[in-house]
């Protein structure tokens, strides 16, 4: 991705999102903008002492964000899941742990709240 586009992306997505997600695609249509994000393969803090193996993603979640230049903005978010080889259970990032004790923006807090509703299967 071109560096100038990456710099603009930080103006569009909630602050802090790029710490945990990467842009994998975007589409601009007549009345909407679609931004596709995938969670990075970085081990969650609460599982640092466990052996985890990436097992892909939960189903995509679509969140509507603030309009941009008169177009609706949709964030297509894919959350990562891991197999905990110590417990043989599927685990995923706990967004309450991420938010606890940090100073986050209201936009990022709203983003975390929205994606936390979708635990996946």
Q: What is the pLDDT of residue 106?
A: 60
Q: What is the mean pLDDT of each run of 10 residues along the chain (121 residues)?
A: 66 77 90 92 90 93 83 89 95 68 57 65 46
What residue spans define the domains of the chain? Answer: 3-116
Q: What is the pLDDT of residue 63?
A: 82
pLDDT for position 62: 85
| CB count in 10 Å sphere of residue 95 | 18
72 by Cβ neighbours in 10 Å (0-12 / 13-18 / 19+) ranks as middle
User: In the prediction, which pLDDT does 65 show?
Assistant: 80
Determine the distance from the C-alpha atom of residue 114 to the mean position of all C-alpha atoms in its chain, rounded to a whole number.
10
pLDDT at residue 32 in the model: 94
Global confidence as pTM = 0.76
């Amino acid at each position: 991705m071109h560096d100038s586009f990456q710099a603009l992306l930080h103006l569009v997505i909630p602050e802090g999102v790029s710490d945990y997600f990467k842009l994998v695609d975007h589409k601009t249509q007549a009345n909407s903008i679609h931004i596709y994000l995938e969670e990075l393969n970085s081990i969650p803090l609460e599982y640092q002492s466990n052996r985890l193996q990436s097992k892909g993603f939960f189903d995509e979640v679509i969140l509507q964000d603030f309009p941009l230049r008169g177009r609706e903005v949709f964030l297509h978010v894919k959350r990562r899941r891991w197999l905990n080889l110590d417990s043989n259970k599927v685990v995923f990032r706990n967004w309450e742990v991420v938010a606890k004790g940090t100073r986050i923006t209201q936009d990022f807090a709203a983003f975390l709240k929205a994606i936390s509703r979708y635990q996946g299967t």
